[in-house]
Structure 1
Amino acid sequence: MSSTTSADPDLQLKPWWLPIPLTEDTPWHGAIGPLSIYLERGQHEWRLAWEHRPDVIDNNRLELGTDRLPPDTLDTGRYVFRQAPSTVRLRPRLLDRPTVVKTNEPVMIPPGEQSTFYISSPVCVCIECDALEKPLLEIPTVQLSDTWFGPNTREGELCYAARTSARNDVDDVPLRPHRAVTPVLLHNRSTELLAIEKLSIPLPMLSVFGRDDGTLWTESVSLEHHASDSLASLKIGRKPDGATLLSEARLPSQRNNVVRAFINLFTD
């Protein structure tokens, strides 16, 4: 699979998930999409603040290592150590719920046809240090709204809601440092025209992979539609070529039981 091309010629992506050195008593600021993180390392503590910038939710910002101080309006957390770690790592991880993405316009797949769509999802940023096994904090880069996905109020699950352009050419996918791209192969094996307006992407069952060009990807998802009852068979593919595993799936034990997340996939 080829790498994507950027819609923003000024954006310079690079892997932001590598270890970052912190100089004692020197502020550190990083911006990944609409998320800004502020860190300062003392001898025995880290001071940490963060904020979402809703005015830049579609802005492909990537800034690492500026010495910007946090605004006075932000609350700062103090993390105390015997000796404060000298490096921080920002690790991407997928959201903790499936995301229901609504297409900007209905997508039609004729009988017997198939197509691959490239759908991106905002990631969380885990703030980690070598001294601890678990992240100090996990922050979503974008705050999505909640939605219910299922045939009725008794069956289904709580998900996040988003919109997608459902691009079917990988070269049309914009480079965005805070979003991971999932290739979704839809195969219409029924005898009827398949109209798609919503997709439920099982993000907790997918892993995050990074490429040297600074882009984030997940495994591919293959979905075969056989009848008009909206039930489909689903498979999670292998890792993308030329990519390094950054975060395991949150629910790896359920990888073979993901069809339920796609029930009523093609309803309004």
Structure 2
Amino acid sequence: MAPTELHASDPQPLANWWQPRRLSEQGCWHLGIGPLSIYLERTQGEWLVGQQRHPDSELLHQVVQQPLEARPDDITFQRYVFRKAPLDFCLQPRLMDRAVVVKTRQPVFIPPGESINFYISTPLCVRLLLGSQVQLQEWPVLRLSDTWFGPSTRIGELCYAAKTHARHSLDEVPLRPHRAVTPLTISNQDKSILSIDKVSLPVPLLSLFERSDHTLWTEAVTLVHQAEQPLAKFKIERKLPLGIQASQRISEPREQVEKNALVRAFAGIFSD
């Protein structure tokens, strides 16, 4: 895809901010993606790159693209030097590099033989690419807390803890430019009731897709709980859910999933 020339724009609720673009040598370009602002400046032989995060919640649903006469003085810029600086850049959305643990609004009880559907949104990372895919930096849009997910300090894995909820209805999911939505099915194939208060979503195993309205989605995921099994069967559906049409794949998984994979997915499990 040919790079797009940059022009000033008003804040947009949703926009395909990941398209390749061309930056002139005049002034500084500001791109605000939810709470993350990225500042870019190019000269003949270098790129200057800066970033900051905004706590203002009013910015969370907006994409801002605008030229600035000069780069901000209160931001530290990193300098990348080239014999001849590339003209084009691309800000590529990526899923997080660890599983993300989300809490349900309250403990969820799934009777034997039942399945439930959730929609989980997780924050993105943004990767800066120049020219022919020269990667300069990658930033998480939100700084998430580390959390250990497992029954003990010896068994489990290091994950991110996200301040979000597993939504039961798609209508309840706020669509934001810095998050991706994963349709999740949890199936209880045990003979006992399954209780869940946290779910670990292995986002490094998932791809990222753009829907026609410029929202970002992953494939649908199914987690199957079986009797006396601390790990869940993990299945990636190779198509998006009914009613969700993706125009293109934006990024590949960070890791490849094994066939018939088992993952540590649930916390707060007990039998009744």
Task: Identify whether the pair has TM-score above 0.5, normalized to the shorter chain.
Answer: yes
Q: Which residue does the alignment assign to 2:110?
A: 109
Given that 1:202 and 1:258 are in contact with CA atoms closer than 8 Å, whether structure 2 keeps it comes out as no
Amino acid at match of 2:263: R
Structure 2 residue matching 1:71: 3-state secondary structure: coil
Deviation of 1:157 (Å) = 1.0
Q: Which residue does the alignment assign to 1:208?
A: 208
Return the alpha-carbon distance in structure 1 between the equivalents of residues 254 and 65 of structure 2: 27
Identity of aligned residues (%): 48
Amino acid at match of 1:221: V
Q: Which residue does the alignment assign to 2:144?
A: 144
Cα pair distance change 1:186/1:102, threshold 3 Å: same
**1:186-265 matches, cutoff 5 A:** 186-227=186-227, 229-240=229-240, 241-252=245-256, 254-256=257-259, 258-262=261-265, 264-265=266-267
Cα pair distance change 1:174/1:182, threshold 3 Å: same
Given that 2:100 and 2:159 are in contact with CA atoms closer than 8 Å, whether structure 1 keeps it comes out as yes
Deviation of 1:69 (Å) = 4.7
Given that 1:230 and 1:266 are in contact with CA atoms closer than 8 Å, whether structure 2 keeps it comes out as no
Say yes or no: does 1:160 pair with 2:164: no
Cα pair distance change 1:176/1:207, threshold 3 Å: same
Gaps of 5+ in 1: 1-9
Return the alpha-carbon distance in structure 1 between the equivalents of residues 165 and 101 of structure 2: 13
Cα pair distance change 1:150/1:119, threshold 3 Å: same
Return the alpha-carbon distance in structure 1 between the equivalents of residues 123 and 140 of structure 2: 7
Deviation of 1:255 (Å) = 3.7
Q: Which residue does the alignment assign to 2:122?
A: 121
Cα pair distance change 1:239/1:129, threshold 3 Å: farther
Return the alpha-carbon distance in structure 2 between the equivalents of residues 206 and 155 of structure 1: 24
Given that 1:205 and 1:255 are in contact with CA atoms closer than 8 Å, whether structure 2 keeps it comes out as no
Deviation of 1:71 (Å) = 3.5
Return the alpha-carbon distance in structure 2 between the equivalents of residues 71 and 134 of structure 1: 25
Amino acid at match of 1:112: G
Q: Give 1 or 2: higher strand fraction.
A: 2
Deviation of 1:94 (Å) = 0.8
Return the alpha-carbon distance in structure 2 between the equivalents of residues 13 and 211 of structure 1: 11
Query: Aligned pairs, how many?
Result: 256
Deviation of 1:25 (Å) = 2.1
Structure 1 residue matching 2:26: 3-state secondary structure: coil
Gaps of 5+ in 2: 1-10
Give TM-score, length-normalised by structure 2. Answer: 0.86
Structure 1 residue matching 2:263: 3-state secondary structure: helix
Q: Which residue does the alignment assign to 2:44?
A: 43
